[in-house]
Every structure is written in C-alpha cells, then in structure tokens.
Amino acid sequence: MRILLIEDEEFFANMLANVLRQEAYFVDIAADGEEGLYRAIGSNIDYDMILLDLGLPGIDGMTVCKQIREAKPNSRIFILSARGQTFDRVKGLDIGADDYLTKPFPLEELLARMRALLRRMPQSSKPMLGLGQLSLDPSLKKAYVNGKEINLTITEYMLLENLLRKPGITISQEELISKSWDDFGSTLFSTTLRTHIYNLRRKLRHANLNDVSIRTVVNQGYQITLDK
Ligand code: CA
C-alpha cells in the first residue's frame, strides 16, 4: 500500500511516516498543499490513501481535499487535523474526505481506521494482472505461480507489479526505482535494484515459473516477457 502524507510539520510527518513504514506501508511526504496536489493528481503514482493535514501553507487542506476528490473520485482521503470543531469535521467530510481524526490521536486508532477504510473501499479499479503462469493481485499485493502464492518482500512485489503492468516493454532503472520505492528508499541505487531483481528471479525460478522471464536490457532497464 502506498500512502501520500500531506503535512507541513516536519517532525510529526517523519514520525508518522516511520510508524507507517513499520506497518509495511510505502509513504511519500508532501510538505505543502501544492506539492500534495501535484503528487496526488499530477504524478503517475496512484496512492492507496491520502493522509491530509488541513492547516497547510499555500493551498489550504480543504481546497486540496476538494481538488483531489474532483480529479480522482476513487481516492481514499483521510484528514488528520488539529481543528477538532464539529464544524470542521462536518465540512471535511462534506467536501469529500472519507474519515477525519483530530490531533493529537493515538497511533493505534489511526492504524485501525486506515485498515477499516481500506476494507470499506476496496479498489475495484485494480483487477488481477497476469502473464503466462504468473498472476498478481494488486489489491492484496500477492503474487502467484500456477495459482500457488509465492513469498515476496514488498519491494520485490512492487518491482514485479511495475514490470507486469507493461509486459514486453523496457522500463528504465529510474522509473522502476521511483515506482517501487517510496521517498524513504529513493536514495537506493541501481546496485540495490540489481540485487532485488536477482532475488526476484531466483524466487520465481524456485516456484517453477518457466514461461515468463525478467530480462535485463543493457544500459536501458528491465522488461518482463512471455517465453514462446
Ligand atoms: Ca499544519
């Protein structure tokens, strides 16, 4: 699951991001409304949930919420705000937030409500992906060979999903890294990518996948192909 956290208080944002990463969420942080809108709407990443502060410099959180909702109606938007007045909570929900939590809040409550929101709004826009004997369930982040689940790390899964979204097309190392890691991991280099690809290939081979290959395209990137 990939989360966008739009929050201008750096200390709180980093603390919350670390907690979420321990729960195996990918987290990107945007420090103001403008960056938040760009990442939510303008970038090529589809976030599973957007955690949104209301008191932001520049574009206000309420406006951000409204614009995201208009541009991407299926987004899950969760407002986290120090504004706990009934008026703000009602307004937040009225302009399209799916849930609202007043700061300060217990982290366990946020995590529980996030899980509830993910369950309540299953992303029907994410059908199964498949190639040959390989199939992926993007909603559950699980991969299968001949219907049998294979045990991948979240990074290996994300690499495989990003390759499988464009079978037969070479994806550059930069694109794979930016889509398969969050901000926290974006300082990773191509050597790290190579290690993950190596492990991924090994696991797929052990699962007896024999009609799909991850190919290295020298100086360009990687592609997944169906072997004839
Ligand atoms: Ca704030």
- Residue-wise pLDDT tens digits, 53-109: 999 999 999 999 999 999 998 899 999 998 878 888 888 888 889 999 999 999 999
> What is the Å distance from ligand 1's center to 62 Cα?
12
- Residue-wise pLDDT tens digits, 106-138: 999 999 999 999 888 766 556 788 999 999 988
For residue 46, count other CB atoms closer than 10 A to its CB. Answer: 14
- Residue-wise pLDDT tens digits, 8-36: 999 999 999 999 988 878 899 999 999 99
Q: Report how far residue 131's alpha carbon sits from residue 115's, in angstroms, rounded to the nearest whole number.
A: 30
Instruction: Identify the CATH number of the domain defined by range 129-226.
Output: 1.10.10.10
Q: Report how far residue 147's alpha carbon sits from residue 150's, in angstroms, rounded to the nearest whole number.
A: 9
> What is the Å distance from ligand 1's center to 16 Cα?
14
pLDDT band for position 162 (50/70/90)? very high
pLDDT at 181 (0 to 100): 77
Average pLDDT over all residues of the chain:
90
pLDDT at 63 (0 to 100): 96
CB-CB contact of 159 with 180 (8 Å): yes
> What is the Å distance from ligand 1's center to 183 Cα?
20
Give the start-to-end residue ranges of the domains of the chain. 2-120, 129-226
> What is the Å distance from ligand 1's center to 9 Cα?
6
> What is the Å distance from ligand 1's center to 4 Cα?
15
pLDDT > 90? residue 139: no
Tell me if the pTM is above 0.75: no
Beta-carbon contacts of residue 76 (< 8 Å; ≥ 6 apart): 48, 49, 50, 98, 117, 118, 121
Instruction: Identify the CATH number of the domain defined by range 2-120.
Output: 3.40.50.2300
> What is the Å distance from ligand 1's center to 3 Cα?
18
Task: Identify the sign of the CA torsion 117, 163, 176, 145.
Answer: positive
